[in-house]
Amino acid sequence: MGDHREKPSVYIAVEDNYKNSPLLNYLCYGLEEEGIPFKMMDNSAENLYSLAHQAAQASRLNVSLALGENN
């Protein structure tokens, strides 16, 4: 479970080759526009599903978004 000292946020897990993606930019702009706090996660998983799971586990809200090749 996430660190309870951090602000509740949606964690965004992104495969390395999508870090400069326009889709990621639009996603972040939309979250910001709606006032939803988010935090980018480092890519340390072998696949997108593991990455999404790790991000959800790290989030106090248990919510994550993942962006990668299998979208």
Q: What is the pLDDT of residues 22-54, one digit of tens each?
A: 999 999 999 999 999 999 987 766 788 888 898
For domain 10-67, give its CATH number from 3.40.50.10150, 3.40.50.300, 3.30.420.40, 3.90.550.10: 3.40.50.10150
Quick check: 68 pLDDT over 70?
A: yes
Q: In the prediction, which pLDDT does 70 show?
A: 67
CA–CA gap between residue 9 and residue 40 (Å, rounded): 10
Calculate mean pLDDT across residues 5-17.
87
Quick check: 71 pLDDT over 80?
A: no
Q: Scanning the structure block, which residue is given the tokens 């809200």?
A: 61
How confident is the prediction for the chain on average, in pLDDT? 86
